[in-house]
Every structure is written in structure tokens, then in C-alpha cells.
Amino acid sequence: MSSQYRISVALTTFNGSQYIYEQLFSLLNQTRQPDEVVICDDCSIDNTVEKVNLFIQEHSLFDRWTCYINVKNLGYVENFLGCAQKCTGDIIFFSDQDDVWVHDKVEIIEKVYLEHNPSAVVSTYSMINSEGGKYITLYSLYKNFPSLIKLRKVSLPTYLRLLGSSGKALSFRSEMLEEIMQKVHAYNLTYDTPIGAIALFHDGFYLLHKPLVKFRVHASNTSAPSTKLSHRTTDVGHLITSIQHILKMHSFVYKEYGDRLSESRISFLRKSISMQEKNLVALQQGKINKAFIHNNLTLNPLTNKIFALVLILYGIRNLRNC
């Protein structure tokens, strides 16, 4: 099958020298080589840039790989968006500095675009530890629970329950980038979260149940604690942040695309927003009672059922004011 797309990889770095070589090699060894790799460093103070430039030189990649250094530190959201802006491909893949791609990731994802013509595609991912060995927790097992449907076109209710457009495993059509940036800035979102929703209202968002990225969990990784179920069910700060994220995304879809939704889906969104607003107040004020548990038991179809279970477990552990 001949390729018809120009494919870009937007890789961002910041003090990532410890693991950067492994990720660079995983890009270099792809069975379908990206047409360009754009690397944007956010003012690292270690030798990340030196390692990247040496890798490009040693493998004679000057014609396809480019490394930029930001004039000032932008933060990860603006660094990813700025890196994507520098890409010239039809399809853009986001890449973290410390993960590892499966050798045929680009080939497999491009095939989905060629056969189904979606606006964005996300795959599942596995987890590895700092040494590259398997990282197994209850949460990681849940994330990679086998699915009978290997490739699915994501519906709006499914997307709203899962909010599954994780940047590390995400690709999208570059023609959406301007709209993505506008929505990120207008609603104060992270660089990746609105992409799935936007794709739903273009030519579709596809989820591939095949782990094509090895997500590295290590001490310097800010998301490392959230990979453990114990953290997710006991840390009130994490729960509050998760609910705020759900509220942002559901409110974003409601405001931006409400006029294109059926009455049943509008009702779905209103109920979900109302429920999560109540959850947020209860967690912030420490008022965990039977009503909190009852709401998440009876209304959990409106959100991720696993997240609802997490809230119920937290509520049971902290039950008061009954």
C-alpha cells in the first residue's frame, strides 16, 4: 500500500536527557519513517539539546529532522502547540520525550487514515518503568483490558465518558490545528484534550485498541502517581483536578457544539455537568455523605464508570454527616 500522506512528528523536550536517546531511536526505527521530525526544546538546562543534535548528526538526519530551542520557557501546552505549528505534514503525531514507540506505530496508524479517513486517531498504550521494564498496576491493567472491537469510531457519549485523546498516543489532521489552538486558548484546556471532540464534528475520531506507545513512569514524571489506583481513590486533590477537567470538557462541548446535538445528548451533558458540579463542591468542602455516594451510583452512566467507582470508594472511606 503506497503512502499518500506526509507525516510529521511533533516531539517536545525539557530536561529530558536521561531518556531522550531511547525515544529518538524508536522514531528512527519505524517501519514507516516519518517524513519529518520536529523537536522543540523548552529551554532545558541539561544536555538534552546536545544529545538531540548529536543524534541528528550521527544518523545524517538533517534533511528530515529539525531541533528548535524556544527563546523563553513556554510550558508544555504552548510548546506542543508551537511544535505542531512548525510541522508541514498532513498528519501530525505528538510525541513525549521519555516514551518509546512500538516499531510499526506510524505504519499502523497511517493505515487507519488511508482506510477510514478520520480526522484524528488515538491508540492505547502500555506502561514501562524507568528502566524500561513492564510497569503493572491495577490501573494499567484496566487501561489495557482486552477489547473485542480492535478499531472503533468513537461516539460522542463514549468520548464524554472517557475523554480519551491522550497526547502521547494521538495523531490528527494538520488542517484542524488552527481550530485546536483556538479552543485550547478560549477554554484554558491542555493541548490534547479537545482534539477528540473536535474530530468528532469533522470526519470522525477513531480509537485503536492496540498499545503502540510505551508510556514511561518515573520519578520526574508528573503523571506518575495517577497510574496507581490507590492514589486515585485517596488523593482528594487528584479527584478535584479530575472533576475540574471533566467539567471543562463537557462545558466546552456543550457551548461549542450544543446547537448540533440532539435533545437527548443535550440532556446528557446538562445532567453530567450538574452532577460533577455537585461532586466538586462536596470534595472541596469535605462534605461526603450518603447523597454523594448515591448520586455516583445512580448517575455513573453519565461519566466514566471506573471514575464513578473511584468517587464511590473515596466516599465510603470518608463518609460523614450521614
Res. 1 pLDDT band, cuts 50 70 90: very low
CA-nearest of 185, 201, 182, 219 to 257 is: 201
Which of the 8 DSSP states describes residue 154?
Answer: P
List alpha helices for the chain, DSSP H.
20-28, 48-58, 76-85, 105-116, 138-143, 156-162, 177-187, 193-200, 229-234, 236-257, 263-285, 290-298, 305-317
**Spatial contact of 260 and 201, defined as CB atoms under 8 Å apart:** yes
What is the helix (H) or strand (E) element at residue 213, kind and residue range? Answer: strand 205-216
Name residue, grid cell 520536529. Answer: 38
pLDDT at position 101 over 90: yes
Under CATH, which number does the domain 7-224 receive?
Answer: 3.90.550.10
Query: Rounded to two decimals, what is the model's pTM?
Result: 0.88
pLDDT at position 222 over 70: no
Q: Dump pLDDT digits (tens) for 117-163.
A: 999 999 999 999 888 898 877 666 666 677 778 999 998 888 887 77
Taking residues 270-285, report their average pLDDT.
86
**Spatial contact of 161 and 118, defined as CB atoms under 8 Å apart:** no
Task: Give the whole-angstrom CA distance, residue 289 versus residue 50.
Answer: 55
Average pLDDT over all residues of the chain: 87
User: Domain extents for the chain?
Assistant: 7-224, 228-317
**Residue-wise burial string across 246-277, b where 16 or more C-beta atoms lie within 10 A, e elsewhere:** bbbbbbbbbebbeeebeeebeebbeebbebbe
Torsion of CA 177, 183, 189, 192, to 10 degrees: -30
pLDDT at position 214 over 90: yes
Taking residues 229-252, report their average pLDDT.
82
Q: Dump pLDDT digits (tens) for 176-196.
A: 999 999 999 999 999 998 999
Q: Dump pLDDT digits (tens) for 11-51.
A: 999 999 999 999 999 999 999 999 999 999 999 999 999 99
